[in-house]
């Protein structure tokens, strides 16, 4: 399906693996010039080389976005590489398990830097280019922001902030036609999710326990399913959608557990 994204440029954070990698692959298939930002140079380089050999336009910036002062240079470098910026996908971050008992105030603040602050910083520095392009922003949030999980105060607060900023930016950026939306995954099989499962005595039993609680198909959401929604939201086909929180989760958050 042609989403009308050909020859546009997008900055995707955390794009070397997991959901971010799927977003990159989906966007380049639509003809987008993607600038990937990731701290994992090895995986990022392999992805860039694979996609460029296939004729796609992909660049890689290796950066640790925990440091907000790195975000300005990242945007400048992305613009130098792509020549424009039509889309920003804020995706980098992970559930770091900073809880009330398992963390400290300093670790909580670090979790916010890891999972929230760079969302704001990148949008701030990208704004002039986004205004010029009447572009779009998609923020990757998490079901943890609305359900809670226990033992992860930093991540939950950060993802709740992502949802709030999505609505705030959608309102603030109306005069420039910049659309801002959030996508909320729930249970998605990524390398980080596999790592989480490996901490159980019986990872297969732990996975089976999760699967039987996902209403639609009793299966995990795929990274490609998340990526397809992101690409749609960035595209002209979603031209009148802004300020929305879209759950791509097989009904995990909202449907009655009796259905499972």
Tell me the residue range of the domain where 142 lies.
Answer: 9-186+222-250
pLDDT tens over the chain, length 260 residues: 699 999 999 999 999 999 999 999 999 999 999 999 999 999 999 999 999 999 999 999 999 999 999 999 999 999 999 999 999 999 999 999 999 999 999 999 999 999 999 999 999 999 999 999 999 999 999 999 999 999 999 999 999 999 999 999 999 999 999 999 999 999 998 888 888 888 899 989 989 999 999 999 999 999 999 999 999 999 999 999 999 999 999 999 999 989 98
Residue 27, in any domain of the structure: yes
Does residue 90 sit in the same domain as residue 193? no
Does residue 84 sit in the same domain as residue 205? no
In this prediction the pTM is: 0.96
Does residue 39 sit in the same domain as residue 72? yes
Does residue 44 sit in the same domain as residue 156? yes
Task: List active site positions.
Answer: 155
pLDDT of 196 reads 81
Does residue 28 sit in the same domain as residue 154? yes
**Rounded-to-integer distance, Cα 15 and Cα 12, Å:** 6
Burial, 104: exposed, middle or buried (Cβ in 10 Å; 0-12, 13-18, 19+)?
exposed
Question: What contacts 144, CB < 8 A, 6 or more positions away?
Answer: 95, 152, 155, 156, 159
Q: Domain containing 150 — which CATH number?
A: 3.40.50.720
Does residue 202 sit in the same domain as residue 179? no
Q: How many CB atoms lie within 10 A of CB 160?
A: 17
The total of structural domains in the chain comes to 2
């Amino acid at each position: 399906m042609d989403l009308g994204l050909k020859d546009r440029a997008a900055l995707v954070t955390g794009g070397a693996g997991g959901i971010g990698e799927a977003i990159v692959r989906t966007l380049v298939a639509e003809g987008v010039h993607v600038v990937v930002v990731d701290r994992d140079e090895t995986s990022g380089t392999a992805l860039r080389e694979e996609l460029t050999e296939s004729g796609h336009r992909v660049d890689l910036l290796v950066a640790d976005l925990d440091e907000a002062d790195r975000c300005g240079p990242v945007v400048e470098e992305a613009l130098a590489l792509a020549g424009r910026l039509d889309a920003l996908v804020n995706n980098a971050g992970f559930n770091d398990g900073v809880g009330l008992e398992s963390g400290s105030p300093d670790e909580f603040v670090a979790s916010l830097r890891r999972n929230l602050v760079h969302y704001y910083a990148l949008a701030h520095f990208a704004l002039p280019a986004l205004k010029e392009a009447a572009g779009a922003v998609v923020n990757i949030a998490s079901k943890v922001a609305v359900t809670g999980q226990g033992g992860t105060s930093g991540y939950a607060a950060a993802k709740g902030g992502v949802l709030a900023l999505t609505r705030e930016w959608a309102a603030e950026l109306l005069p420039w036609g910049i659309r801002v939306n959030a996508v909320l995954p729930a249970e998605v099989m990524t390398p980080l999710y596999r790592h989480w499962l490996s901490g159980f005595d019986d990872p297969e039993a732990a996975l089976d326990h999760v699967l039987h609680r996902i209403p639609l198909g009793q299966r995990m959401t795929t990274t490609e399913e998340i990526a397809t929604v992101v690409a749609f939201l960035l595209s002209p086909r979603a031209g009148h959608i802004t300020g929305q929180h879209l759950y791509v989760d097989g009904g995990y958050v909202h449907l009655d557990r009796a259905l499972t």
